[in-house]
Homo-oligomer: A and B are copies of this chain.
Amino acid sequence: MTLDNTWFTEAQVASGAAFSMKIKGKLHDEQTPYQHIQIYDTETFGKLMVIDGCIMLTDRDNFIYHEMMSHPALFTHPGPRSVVIIGGGDCGTMREVLKHPGVEQAWQIEIDERVTRLAEKYFPQLCDANNDPRAHFYFGDGVKWMDEAEAESVDIIIVDSTDPIGPAEGLFAEPFYRCCHRALAKGGILVQQSESPLYHLDLLQRMRASMRAAGFTSLQTLHYPQCVYPSGWWSATLAGKNCAVNKFREKEAGSPGFDTLFYTADVHKGAMALPAFAKRVLEK
């Protein structure tokens, strides 16, 4: 069948696939200095944010991504106090990070302030923690910010960015990883969204090679379902500065003292178990 104009479609042309959602209407459409942002109301996914034609998040399934971008890294570090989120303009990662009571400050460095302002309006539940006194917001270039960050000042860096095409391209490159490595305290962890294990294994391989070249001694890719992203299957890669990122504080993760919808200690372990084909390529 063909879909009429009551559907929003993201065609992933290089992957030869497309994902569509039935929409009730468009709520917002804006060209910012950086990108084209659209907000839709969908039939079954709640609100939908689209940037430059790519699905960023929906009410229905963003919990998976936001939990898997934050809790694995925070439960791997022995006691994270200072967290920096590069990108993450929808504030959902910030919300998850601040569920950890030991975090003393979390910075969100988003290049496009409009993403955050629109999240406040259309995804208010993701912005729950924005008034937490530990939450800090800076709107500007994440690469530059990280380049100028004080050495050994950060425990966790979360790169919650768009795909490696457009404004986020520099976030998938060795020079940026070197800046992250320098800014991380000993035992610090970088975690970055690392695309689809099915479609983008070559990108994952290059990212991991660049992270190693930048000085990270331990890597761990986690995989998880993400319905609205290409292939419905996504990943995050953890990189440790003089620490092992394939072990975590299982006991605390098992009784975190806060609610999650996706993350559990067993889910964390399960996400580390790469499928045979990916393990052969990434962990050889």
By the criterion CB–CB under 8 Å, are A18 and B19 in contact? yes
Q: Mark A1-40, 1 if CB is under 8 A from B, else 0.
A: 1111101010101011111111000000000000000000
- Say yes or no: is A249 at the interface (Cβ < 8 Å to chain B): no
Query: What total of chain A residues lie within 8 Å of the partner, measured CB to CB?
Result: 51
Identity of the chain B residue whose Cβ is nearest the Cβ of A261 in the assembled complex = B277
**Cα-based distance from A272 to B279 in the complex (angstroms):** 19
In the complex, identify which listed stretch (A41-49, A122-130, A148-156, A200-208) lies at the interface while the others stay far away. Answer: A41-49
- Say yes or no: is A276 at the interface (Cβ < 8 Å to chain B): yes
By the criterion CB–CB under 8 Å, are A198 and B227 in contact? yes
**Cα-based distance from A9 to B22 in the complex (angstroms):** 13
Given contacts A269-B270, A270-B273, contact A20 B9 (CB under 8 A): yes
- Say yes or no: is A138 at the interface (Cβ < 8 Å to chain B): no
**Cα-based distance from A270 to B267 in the complex (angstroms):** 7
By the criterion CB–CB under 8 Å, are A16 and B3 in contact? no
How many copies the complex holds: the figure is 2
**What chain B residues lie within 8 Å of A197 (beta carbons)?**
225
**What chain B residues lie within 8 Å of A17 (beta carbons)?**
19-22, 44-45, 227
By the criterion CB–CB under 8 Å, are A233 and B223 in contact? no
Interface centre among A267, A269, A272 (most CB of B within 10 A): A267
Identity of the chain B residue whose Cβ is nearest the Cβ of A196 in the assembled complex = B227
- Say yes or no: is A132 at the interface (Cβ < 8 Å to chain B): no
- Say yes or no: is A145 at the interface (Cβ < 8 Å to chain B): no
By the criterion CB–CB under 8 Å, are A9 and B3 in contact? yes
**Cα-based distance from A42 to B43 in the complex (angstroms):** 29
- Say yes or no: is A61 at the interface (Cβ < 8 Å to chain B): yes
Q: Mark A62-81, 1 if CB is under 8 A from B, else 0.
A: 00100000000000000000
By the criterion CB–CB under 8 Å, are B267 and A269 in contact? no
Given contacts A2-B5, A262-B276, A262-B277, contact A44 B15 (CB under 8 A): yes
- Say yes or no: is A194 at the interface (Cβ < 8 Å to chain B): no
